[in-house]
Structure 1
Amino acid sequence: MLSGLRNCAYFAATVSVTAMSGGWWGVSAQEQRWVQIEAHRDLDEALDAARTYDARIGSVSGFLLPSDWYAISVGPFENDTDAFAVRRQLRSENAIPIDAFISNGANYLDQVFPTGPDAPRVAPSPSISTAPGDDLPAEPDTQFAETTPAPEPEPEPAPQPEPEPEETLREAQASERLLTRDERVDLQTALQWFGHYTLGIDGAIGPGTRRSMQAWQADQGLEETGVLTTRQRAQLLDAWQGELAMLGMDTWRDEDAGISIDLPLAMMRFDRRETPFVHFDERDDSGVRALLISQTGTNATLFGLYEIMQTLDIVPLEGERERRQNSFLLTGQSDSLRSHTVAQFRNGQIKGYTLIWTPERDDQMARVLPMMESSFETFGSALPDSAGPASLVPRGDLLSGLTVRRPAFSRSGFYIDATGTVLTSAGAVANCERVTLDEANTARVVARDDALGLAILEPENPLVPMAFAQFQQDALHRGSDITISGFSFEDMLTRPVLTFGRIEDLNGLNGESDRIRLSAAVRPGDLGGPVFGANGAVVGVLYGQPRDDARQLPPEVSFAVPSDAIRSFLRSNDIAVGTSADNAAIMPPETLTQVSGDVTVLVSCWQ
């Protein structure tokens, strides 16, 4: 109807004439399509917006929504194609917002604009029930029965023309030869959309395109000739355009984030920008959301983001995880949620996107994701660094507004070899359904000694830690200064905390040789962390206080498993470890801080 639209002035004139002639307003409720421009919570604001738009483009209406908001819309139109064409034209002229979308008006309640006796009215949506008795015939008024003229009989409906006969194979081949390259590209794209064509879009009808046409015909219960008739091509293209209109696939170009990407904007709406994300929330309970990822940083920032995003509820635990040299892929699936995240580091910027949806949208999102991937482009700058690098800030700041999945508890551990083997306390992995390292890598318990209080973990996928521990060989001395590295506040920080103290005794309170007594104010999150000597070598693993229901030790009293007992435990499990060659050296504090941060790992227990 309006596919020939050229400018807003023409559009305004067209909608005015059509409205007066009863054209659009005669469209049945089941067939109505609208271009929804905006929604406002306040009625006065909605009416002001409706008047402004109506003066500029015409045929604007306002409706109450079930949420008590007010929708401002243009229309109605007879079908998705007309509504989509008008929306695209108005968008190209910046006459309506970028996130305007196509609606069938099913949730439009009372009309609030325009109002008055001359205002066109819209038939109630079939989803809205009428008042009791509204569908009952009125009682006849017998008082004036003799003067009331009989109703005119309904005219006989005009006979429908017989459908034109289907083309023969020869006629279909002849009409196919008349297609332009753009028309052949559209045909391949539509076949690809419905999963029948899997090759490159080249506009050439070869054997692959023939097979896909045959598959589409089989899917529709048609004769499988491999050549589409004019009617079949129209049917295929109409179905494709209808799905595109329903999804509202359109380009979102975000100047602040420096990202351009095609998004299903009929299913989601822009919400806010919070570094490193541009948030899109679901529209009309569609279950579809998105994040655009944009921030400055380094490869370490990218990897920090990779680890932290795996703790989000929007990234279910089951799914593919792949961290490449300068990019990563995260997929997740559960009974109630799906997500797909990609991000890359290039030229000092991390950019990417996340699509989140509910399982009933699987088929649609399987079509949307390739369109997002092929359309994704980066340019310009990134979002400002208001949240800081992903690897160095608390998740609460970085992921504001997103729900973080939390473990039952977290303790500390440390790398003991170049493949990512971790030593921790036995209590850190007790009664855990799943154990993770830095919440990003699943690990399994390969050895455990509850009496000694130690456990060995291996990551399911080998890791390459920045550094791993060296153990002290020489005898320990009372009064020696020590430094404990651990996640004192469990998963609240992304780097370990250093706690300083000294060795008070080389045995436990009852003379145990596999314990050393420390003076240090530690927290539960520190347990399992390394105890460093002055030279940076590990002299023990923090054990904490023994359980004693009858006594309460002073808070500064703690215990550790000494290095000789640790090395014996590791040897019994065929694990070789490094030892410090220079036990007399003193490691500068700044170096020890760096080493402890590289060696210490967060061990989380999930139940």
Structure 2
Amino acid sequence: MSKLLTAIFFTLALTVSAAAQSNFWVQIEARNTLSGAQERASEYTRRLDNVAGFYLGNNFYGIVIGPFSQAEASITLDRLLARGAIPSDSFVKSGQFFKQQFWPIGGGTSAAATPPAAEPLGANAAANLPSDPIETPDETPAEARASERLLSLEERQELQKALKWAGYYTVAIDGSFGRGTRASMQAWQIANNQEPTGILTTRQRALLFEQYNGVLDGLDLRLVRDTASGIQMEVPTGVVGFIEYQPPFVRFDANSDIPQAQVLFISQAGDEGKMIGLYEVLQILDIVPPDGPRSRTPRGFTIEGIGDGLHTYVSASLVDGEIKGFVLVWPEGDDQRRTRLIEEMEASFERLPGVLDPDIAPPGEDQAIDMVSGLAVRKPQFTRSGFFVTEDGAVVTTTQAVAGCARITLDRDDEAEVVFTDAEIGLAILRPVDPIVPRDVAAFLIDVPRLQDQIAVAGYPFNGALSAPTLTFGQIIDIRGLSGDDRIKRLAILPQPGDSGGPVFDDSGSTIGMLLPRADGSVQILPPEVNFSLDAGQIVATLTAQGFAPTLREKGGPISPVALTRQAADVAVLVSCW
């Protein structure tokens, strides 16, 4: 009998020893709410094996992987970290002090591996755990002030940041709880159905920070260290993932149900000139809407682009010959989460040695003129042509060029406004929002042109793909329109739609008109070479009536096609409708 008891005790000892040896786990997260921990455990279960969750005590819930022996747990930790599958601060933990198991619902780990205190949490046993959210005793205003005095300067500043994020605090983050801070606290209390004392209790501060940090749930913020670009920063890996290197960018594109989400690391060698160039290039990308605040100094810049469903934030700076920064593209309207995310990204941004090698990514088949480093350039609705008529940059174009436009640009970069239109003759006058000094202006011919004279139209027939205007040559066929209108000249020429609004030159370089769009009706379609221009005299009369002083000149001798091409490049301008 004694031998049998000895054998039983020996067997039990071996079992307990084996359980203890296999009671090591890789802890990947800890949450201070049960609902938040269950949500994160569910997310991890979809992509990792052997995910479990235990109550750790002190109102924390641990999400773990296991069980393993201690050696197996260390190997698993290294393997998962190398894959980037778990947060970088994950670690091996003994399960001997785990309490109730909350994941999987109903339990699911090996009984031998579960410590005696870890009782599986059944589907209806959530009441066994601390309530969610955790309540702490409230305080009187005097007690709240006393607990508030124990806060460090940094903690007081963090509280102001949380109030600012929530939309109640608008002044400096200085850690001083003056009238502005008290008013913001009272506003938050009213919005959250709390007594409006203007002094946050310990419980209220905890609730505010739970709101402040809760918006980051599901984004899976992880510290990404990219040695190729020399940048380390928190990245929301729950919604974006690394795609490719496209100098000067490291691209992290959407991998979740937030299709607008995108993160770019910016990394390149350069000086102030290159930084200004980067600043300009970023603003023509599709992912950076044109509206929103911009700020630039000799050492850095920030850009916010808001519209078309996007809210994009760009920050970059120049330090020791290296331009580094980041871009966050986010859905428009999700301001609380976007603001909080930018705070974390900026706080974690760190410069490492080196910049992105321009040759790290060889050119591929997807290169295109309307792409920059693999990112689409923003395109206008359509483009037409125009030409400078005054020294301060006034432009004449066709009314078709400005119809239905939210904004208008000249040569893509310069904003312009419509100051006059005449639908009857098809003429529009534009003025740049910021002054432009053109290299040359149109000189209008005083004399009447002769039939059969050679003419040339300067325009942008390829939607601005070419940086200079193209000349299309033809002849004057009639000094009146088909119905006898002497404000119109009939031409024999084969232009493209984008040429409309461009200047019509004679062989001396004088401007004799503006090319009009084709107006084929549903009944009659004119031959393709039949086109019309608005007469120079009509343009001059309209400009003069509107207070402009156009340049006039008499007929001169012919100039070479090369000279005419140079003149056209100085006078003609691309008009884009956005």
TM-score interval, normalised by the smaller of the two chains: 0.5 to 0.7
396, 403, 406: which is aligned to 2:370? 396
479, 486, 498: which is aligned to 2:470? 498
One-letter amino acid matched to 1:270 = F
411, 414, 429: which is aligned to 1:456? 429
76, 80, 97: which is aligned to 2:53? 76
Secondary structure of 2:256's match? Answer: coil
Q: Name 1:280's counterpart in structure 2.
A: 252
568, 572, 577: which is aligned to 2:541? 568
Q: Structure 2 CA distance, aligned partners of 1:330 and 1:125?
A: 49
Secondary structure of 2:257's match? Answer: coil
Secondary structure of 1:32's match? Answer: helix
81, 87, 93: which is aligned to 1:95? 81
Q: Name 1:421's counterpart in structure 2.
A: 394
Q: Name 1:32's counterpart in structure 2.
A: 38
Secondary structure of 2:385's match? Answer: strand
| Post-superposition offset of 1:470 | 2.5
Q: Structure 2 CA distance, aligned partners of 1:233 and 1:364?
A: 19
Q: Name 2:292's counterpart in structure 1.
A: 320
Deviations 1:507-539 (A, max 9, x none): 247576444455543211111112345665534
Q: Name 2:458's counterpart in structure 1.
A: 485
One-letter amino acid matched to 1:464 = I
| Post-superposition offset of 1:570 | 1.7
One-letter amino acid matched to 2:394 = T
Q: Name 1:17's counterpart in structure 2.
A: 23
Question: Matches of residues 174-573 of structure 1 in structure 2 within 5 Å?
Answer: 174-203=146-175, 209-224=181-196, 226-249=198-221, 252=224, 254-256=226-228, 262-274=234-246, 277-286=249-258, 289-292=261-264, 294=266, 297=274, 299=276, 302-303=279-280, 305-306=282-283, 308-309=284-285, 312=286, 319-320=291-292, 329-333=303-307, 337-342=309-314, 353-359=327-333, 361-369=334-342, 372=345, 381=355, 384=358, 396-398=370-372, 400=374, 402=376, 407=381, 409-417=382-390, 420-429=393-402, 432=404, 434=406, 436-437=408-409, 445-458=418-431, 461-462=433-434, 464=436, 466-467=438-439, 469-473=441-445, 475=447, 476=449, 482-490=455-463, 493=465, 495-505=467-477, 507-508=479-480, 513-532=486-505, 537-543=510-516, 547=520, 555-573=528-546
| Post-superposition offset of 1:289 | 0.9
| Post-superposition offset of 1:472 | 3.5
TM-score with structure 2 length normalisation?
0.64
Q: Name 2:68's counterpart in structure 1.
A: none
| Post-superposition offset of 1:401 | 6.1
More divergent stretch after superposition (395-404 vs 494-503): 395-404
One-letter amino acid matched to 1:487 = Y
Deviations 1:416-466 (A, max 9, x none): 335553311244445x3646335677766543445544222346x445365
- 8 Å Cα contact 1:486-1:498 kept in structure 2: yes
Q: Structure 1 residues 454, 517: closer, same or farther in 2, change over 3 A?
A: same
- 8 Å Cα contact 1:91-1:98 kept in structure 2: no
One-letter amino acid matched to 1:576 = A
| Post-superposition offset of 1:282 | 3.5
Secondary structure of 2:575's match? Answer: strand
Question: Matches of residues 53-72 of structure 1 in structure 2 within 5 Å?
Answer: 63=45, 65=46, 70-71=47-48
Q: Structure 2 CA distance, aligned partners of 1:345 and 1:594?
A: 40
Q: Structure 2 CA distance, aligned partners of 1:261 and 1:212?
A: 31
Q: Name 2:10's counterpart in structure 1.
A: none
One-letter amino acid matched to 1:437 = T
Secondary structure of 1:490's match? Answer: coil
Gaps of 5+ in 2: 1-18, 66-75, 89-102
Q: Structure 1 residues 275, 468: closer, same or farther in 2, change over 3 A?
A: farther
Q: Structure 1 residues 427, 370: closer, same or farther in 2, change over 3 A?
A: same
Question: Matches of residues 63-142 of structure 1 in structure 2 within 5 Å?
Answer: 63=45, 65=46, 70-71=47-48, 76=53, 78=55, 95=81, 100=86
One-letter amino acid matched to 2:470 = L
Q: Structure 2 CA distance, aligned partners of 1:95 and 1:502?
A: 70
- 8 Å Cα contact 1:533-1:539 kept in structure 2: yes
| Post-superposition offset of 1:17 | 2.2
| Post-superposition offset of 1:357 | 1.0
Q: Structure 2 CA distance, aligned partners of 1:315 and 1:484?
A: 35
Q: Structure 1 residues 170, 505: closer, same or farther in 2, change over 3 A?
A: closer
Q: Structure 1 CA distance, aligned partners of 2:372 and 2:472?
A: 29
Q: Structure 1 residues 219, 94: closer, same or farther in 2, change over 3 A?
A: same
| Post-superposition offset of 1:498 | 0.9
One-letter amino acid matched to 1:410 = T
Q: Structure 1 CA distance, aligned partners of 2:389 and 2:438?
A: 11
| Post-superposition offset of 1:386 | 10
| Post-superposition offset of 1:468 | 5.4
Q: Structure 1 CA distance, aligned partners of 2:160 and 2:244?
A: 37
Q: Structure 2 CA distance, aligned partners of 1:321 and 1:95?
A: 39
- 8 Å Cα contact 1:345-1:351 kept in structure 2: yes
One-letter amino acid matched to 2:81 = A
| Post-superposition offset of 1:187 | 3.9
| Post-superposition offset of 1:412 | 1.8
Gaps of 5+ in 1: 1-12, 38-61, 103-108, 127-134, 136-153
- 8 Å Cα contact 2:443-2:553 kept in structure 1: yes
**Pairwise CA RMSD:** 5.7
Deviations 1:541-572 (A, max 9, x none): 22365647787666455443343332123223
One-letter amino acid matched to 2:242 = F
| Post-superposition offset of 1:95 | 2.6
One-letter amino acid matched to 1:436 = I
Q: Structure 2 CA distance, aligned partners of 1:535 and 1:366?
A: 60
Q: Name 1:142's counterpart in structure 2.
A: none
Q: Structure 2 CA distance, aligned partners of 1:123 and 1:595?
A: 82
Q: Name 1:129's counterpart in structure 2.
A: none
| Post-superposition offset of 1:488 | 0.8
Q: Structure 2 CA distance, aligned partners of 1:521 and 1:350?
A: 49
Q: Name 1:58's counterpart in structure 2.
A: none
More divergent stretch after superposition (287-296 vs 91-100): 91-100
Q: Structure 1 CA distance, aligned partners of 2:50 and 2:435?
A: 55
Q: Structure 1 residues 400, 118: closer, same or farther in 2, change over 3 A?
A: farther
Secondary structure of 1:570's match? Answer: helix
Q: Structure 2 CA distance, aligned partners of 1:167 and 1:226?
A: 13
Q: Structure 2 CA distance, aligned partners of 1:597 and 1:91?
A: 66
Q: Structure 1 CA distance, aligned partners of 2:316 and 2:166?
A: 29
Q: Structure 1 CA distance, aligned partners of 2:172 and 2:80?
A: 34
Q: Name 1:6's counterpart in structure 2.
A: none
- 8 Å Cα contact 2:289-2:312 kept in structure 1: no
- 8 Å Cα contact 2:183-2:198 kept in structure 1: yes
Q: Name 2:16's counterpart in structure 1.
A: none
